């Protein structure tokens, strides 16, 4: 991971060991200063050691502090140029004017998508797309808000002729997973990667030879460890939009990237599917 570092650190900070968490807090407190600091200076500010800073870097996929500094400098410079910082991190109060609340929401969501795009592994996106194109069946599993995301992605895939099912019911998901075979695909969607129903369905799918994909904000979650391929999402909580609600936009963005990659591979079939489906529902639209 050479970009999207701040989003990853912010998302995973609560689950880090205390020593690493202090390093993350210092970085998030002033990313630009962290990008300018030496490893010794950063360690002193975090009340830790250079070895701890190095462990922090490696926990997030960097070879060392030099590589992290480059990523931070690039990201903070890009954010300053685009003005992404405006409104990010602010709370929405019950008496705030609606226009101010909308400004905070727009800034947070814009930064969320940018963070997600920055940390997106294009190789993994291509591998997931390849697996779906080759599969006879695709199963999407998610509950609550993630279940709604699964349903939306199912609609996109069905529209271009991909045999796809989704369910938020634990029993139905397990039954569908049991019918998958070698080369089929099971995609589990969970913000924290700890939803029992999603993990059980992917475990069942794995026993039948299916390729298991995790879509989660936590790259070291149990769901991610269970999967063959992991697509990570950024999550930026704001007032009234916490946890899974805060991850919806990034989940849809990641899955849309997969959808576009599939449509590119199946260009002629996709265009034909669009023509057929548009014609099929044409009579239901008013002139």
d(CA 22, CA 16): 9
Cα-based distances in Å from 161 to 94, 138, 273, 277, 280: 46, 11, 7, 10, 14
In the predicted model, is pLDDT for residue 285 greater than 90?
Answer: no
pLDDT value, residue 13: 85
CB-based contact 115:234 (threshold 8 Å): yes
pLDDT tens, position by position, 85-140: 444 445 677 778 888 888 877 777 787 888 888 888 999 999 999 999 999 999 99
| Radius of gyration of the chain, Cα coordinates, nearest whole angstrom | 21
Categorize the per-residue pLDDT at 12 as very low, low, confident or very high, splitting at 50, 70 and 90: confident
CA-angle at 113, arms to 31 and 270, nearest 5°:
150
Categorize the per-residue pLDDT at 214 as very low, low, confident or very high, splitting at 50, 70 and 90: very high
Average pLDDT over residues 14-29: 91
In the predicted model, is pLDDT for residue 161 greater than 90?
Answer: yes
pLDDT tens, position by position, 232-252: 988 766 556 555 566 888 999
Which DSSP symbol is given to 231? E
14-18, 136-140, 154-158: which has the minimum mean pLDDT? 14-18
Q: pLDDT: is 183 or 244 the higher one? A: 183
Of 169, 188, 180, give the one whose Cα is nearest residue 208: 180
The model's pTM is 0.74
Average pLDDT, the chain: 87
Which residue segments constitute the domains of the chain, with CATH numbers given?
1-84 (1.10.10.10), 122-278 (3.40.50.10490)
Query: Rounded to 10 degrees, what is the CA torsion of 233, 237, 240, 242?
Result: 60
């Amino acid at each position: 991971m050479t970009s999207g570092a701040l989003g990853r650190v912010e998302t995973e900070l609560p689950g880090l060991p205390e020593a690493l968490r202090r390093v993350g807090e210092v970085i998030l407190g002033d990313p630009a200063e962290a990008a300018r600091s030496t490893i010794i200076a950063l360690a002193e500010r975090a009340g830790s050691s250079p070895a701890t800073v190095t462990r922090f870097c490696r926990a997030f996929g960097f070879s060392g502090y030099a590589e992290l500094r480059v990523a931070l400098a690039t990201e903070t410079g890009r954010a300053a140029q685009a003005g992404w910082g405006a409104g990010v991190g602010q709370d929405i109060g019950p008496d705030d004017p609606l226009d101010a609340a909308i400004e905070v929401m727009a800034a947070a969501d814009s930064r969320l998508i940018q963070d997600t795009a920055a940390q997106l592994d294009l190789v993994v996106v291509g591998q997931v797309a390849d697996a779906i194109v080759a599969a006879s069946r695709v199963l999407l599993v998610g509950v609550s808000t993630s279940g709604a995301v699964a349903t939306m992605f199912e609609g996109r895939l069905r529209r271009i002729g991909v045999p796809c099912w989704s369910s938020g019911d634990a029993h139905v998901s397990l039954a569908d997973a049991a019918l998958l075979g070698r080369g089929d695909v099971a995609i589990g969607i969970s913000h924290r990667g700890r939803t029992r129903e999603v993990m059980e369905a992917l475990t069942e799918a794995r026993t039948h030879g299916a390729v298991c994909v995790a879509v989660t904000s936590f790259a070291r979650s149990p769901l991610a460890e269970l999967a063959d391929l992991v697509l990570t999402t950024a999550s930026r909580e704001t007032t009234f939009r916490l946890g899974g609600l805060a991850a919806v936009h990034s989940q849809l963005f990641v899955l849309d990237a997969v959808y576009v990659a599939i449509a590119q591979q199946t260009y002629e079939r996709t265009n034909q599917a669009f023509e057929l489906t548009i014609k099929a529902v044409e009579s239901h639209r008013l002139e």
